[in-house]
Amino acid sequence: MTRFAAPIAEQIWDMKYRFKEADGTPIDQSVEDSWRRIARALASVEKKPAVWEEKFYRALEDFQYLPAGRITAGAGTARSVTLFNCFVMGTIPDSMSGIFDMLKEAALTMQQGGGIGYDFSTIRPKGAHVAGVAADASGPLSFMDVWDAMCRTIMSAGSRRGAMMATMRCDHPDVEQFISAKADSARLRMFNLSVLVTDPFMEAVKADGSWDLQFDGKVYHTVKARDLWNKIMKATYDYAEPGVIFIDRINKANNLSYIEQISATNPCGEQPLPPYGACLLGSINLARLVDTPFEAGADIPEAKLDELVALAVRMMDNVVDASNFPLPQQAEEARNKRRIGLGVTGLADALLMMGLRYGSEEAAAQTEAWLKRIARASYLASVELAKEKGAFPLFDAEKFLASGNMEQMDDDVREAIRTHGIRNALLTSIAPTGTISLYAGNVSSGIEPVFAYAYTRKVLQKDGTRTEEEVVDYAVQMWRDKFGDAALPDYFVNAQTLAPLEHVRMQAAAQKWIDSSISKTINCPEDISFEGFKDVYMEAYETGCKGCTTYRPNDVTGSVLSVSETAEKTPAETPAVVTTSADGGAEVVYMSEPLDRPQALEGHTYKLKWPDSEHAIYLTINDIIVGGHRRPFEVFINSKNMEHYAWTVALTRMISAVFRRGGDVSFVVEELKAVFDPRGGAWVQGKYIPSILAAIGGVIEKHLVATGFLEGEGKGLKSDPTAKVVGLDAPRGKACPSCGQFSMMMVEGCMTCSSCGHSKCG
């Protein structure tokens, strides 16, 4: 008997969460071993570890409580990784030395696997006077470019690239440049961007008033607030960024408003955090808790939910003591406030099991009721921990209870906190759960609606062949098991069929009882009017949301993954090709499977002479004609210098493998050109090249421009393919950079692969 509800769940466990030796030999022989490893590690800080290990194991069993990926993969492994998902870094000083000290801290944090958030509002605007030097300031965006390049070079623990969030206040003089930064698709690719929007700004927008852009008391420009708001909205309408964070609301509602000021969030936005704050995440799987699903009495028993929440809170509190931290400041911040973020996943599936249509008023009311129950149970569990282990060190009863969030809490909970204190300063958050939701049997993610009832994915087998398997939503599979081929009821809706304001309704209902924030994507149809799009953000503000993230498919952002609700399998065929025109006539070609090498290919050989190197490097780039267009197929890198042998062979094989997969491979150029050699680069033909790898990237770029694959130097392809696959009728989503499947979709504010769980946000 397997505990996994679907093959994809076991594959995700094996790929991401199963503890293995360095050579890939499994240590966790089963998922029960993984649960035991986590339970033992988190119970190790208890006075009676054996007792709590058994209780923690029962909470983890059958995927009822899902610790975040860092905990699931790292707890009990004795590896030097952090169990915290992400951090907001220290305040960036407005000085060159201070800025690069912060860059170093960011690198150390991402090296251990943590995503980071930064507020760049503290850096003086472009053109501002710099005392003591004969120059003007280059502005915060120039330093964001440095952060972006650094992030590209660091592979986070567990083979995850670092994710970053950059915020900027709506009154910073460079905010307009910040808003439009993602118009260049090659810039700031490692960042999510969000504008910190204040209440006075929103009032000025509604009143069509003026708005000062200022820094350090000096007004640089005065603009119309509504014009600036429209610029934010237009950039988001076109490029899906920047997001909007209602920062004053966040600070007013913060339980710790008496000792901290928040100006940044983690990469997905669900954890507004102070300098050096960290997010510790976990989710209650509501889909596993519904009794008698699809029957008249379907419900989640309150006692069952309360007990599970209490165990989850205790486990998460123990993570604070069991985890490593990249920086001592982060450890101190975590232990002084013991902030945790307990959320939910499987909400949409649970609503379906109760016969409720996601987005309806009834579903919103049920969502609010469940999350209030979780909030009550969380706070009361933390009070019990305070009785046993003490309140968090910076607890002040009267100031804590006077915060905006605590004023709405039930009187019995407030009285318990006043009498006994509380162990954790903040307790609830709705985090992205894409990968752990797949691991739990493809339950719906977080508080998102079901994305697709079913779809097919290709799975690479050990013998090199590929098979197709159907991936079915957890609630849909339960319906099938119960009712066979009976048609799905009308209340089964998905992300593509919901109206945007129904998304907002669900987010607002959930936010009322979440003391941090929520990671959620509001899907908008491509043909939504600009005025209708702006109404979504205004409704989010007026109904109490702390932020808003939307996704409107278009030529720039790419289409949403298209699925067949009948999940009909496509026939076996020769590798399919997708073609679509990019700016300037360039073509993007995706192959569903790598092509075999023809007998002969046309190519060019380039000589690269690196200063101070005795032998030159020779690059041969061969092309293939697909769909009447030329694209790179393979690379050979050779040198007489034997010190180069190993890495040139590795680079040859890796780049060729990427080229043969197809698609927009311009990222290869970008990744290579971003590599910095700590020993220093070199000046080549009057241009500074940061490393020999960057020089190789430049040669490949030159070839791609010469063959018409790229428009020009520094111009990666501006659009991703959304055209039809040759021989097939269904359009596809973006190709996943991890598994190659056309399964990328916007979920919980992040581009996420539904096939392998890869996420842009780590």
503-756-648 Cα angle (round to 5): 130
> Tokens 């083979």 correspond to what residue?
159
> Tokens 């954890």 correspond to what residue?
271
Q: Find the Cα–Cα–Cα–Cα dihedral 318, 321, 323, 325, rounded to 10°.
A: 140
Burial 373-402 (b: 16+ CB within 10 A, else e): bbbbbbbbbbbbbbeebebbeebeeeebbe
89 closest CA partner among 74, 75, 99, 79:
99
> Tokens 């569990």 correspond to what residue?
381
127 closest CA partner among 218, 210, 188:
218
| C-beta neighbour count of 482 within 10 angstroms | 11
Report the alpha-carbon distance of residue 362 to residue 354 in Å, rounded: 11
> What are the CA-CA distances from residue 506 to residues 339, 359, 368, 369, 453 (Å)?
25, 6, 9, 12, 20
In this structure, what token pair is assigned to residue 512?
A: 């009322």
369-373-377 Cα angle (round to 5): 170
66-762-694 Cα angle (round to 5): 160
513 closest CA partner among 650, 617, 376:
376
427 closest CA partner among 482, 372, 479:
372
| C-beta neighbour count of 334 within 10 angstroms | 24
Residue 368 and residue 513 in contact, taking contact as beta carbons nearer than 8 Å = yes
> Tokens 């993984």 correspond to what residue?
34
156 closest CA partner among 101, 80, 91:
80
363 closest CA partner among 285, 465, 450:
450
3-class secondary-structure state, position 722: coil
* Residues near 722 by beta carbon (within 8 Å), at least 6 away in sequence: 553, 555, 558, 559, 580, 731
**CA-based R_g, the chain, Å:** 26
Question: For 44-95, where are the alpha helices, taking DSSP H only?
Answer: 49-60, 69-74
Report the alpha-carbon distance of residue 729 to residue 722 in Å, rounded: 12
Question: Which residues are the active-site residues?
Answer: 266, 268, 270
| C-beta neighbour count of 293 within 10 angstroms | 18
167 closest CA partner among 217, 232, 108, 216:
232
In this structure, what token pair is assigned to residue 354?
A: 């109760």
Distance in angstroms between the alpha carbons of the first and the last residue of the chain:
32
Question: For 268-340, where are the alpha helices, taking DSSP H only?
Answer: 302-322, 328-337
502 closest CA partner among 513, 488, 491:
491
Report the alpha-carbon distance of residue 296 to residue 294 in Å, rounded: 7
Q: Amino acid identity of 478?
A: M
| C-beta neighbour count of 652 within 10 angstroms | 17
Report the alpha-carbon distance of residue 31 to residue 115 in Å, rounded: 26
Q: What is the DSSP letter of 613?
A: -
Angle between helices 49-60 and 302-322 in degrees, nearest 10: 120
> Tokens 């209602």 correspond to what residue?
246
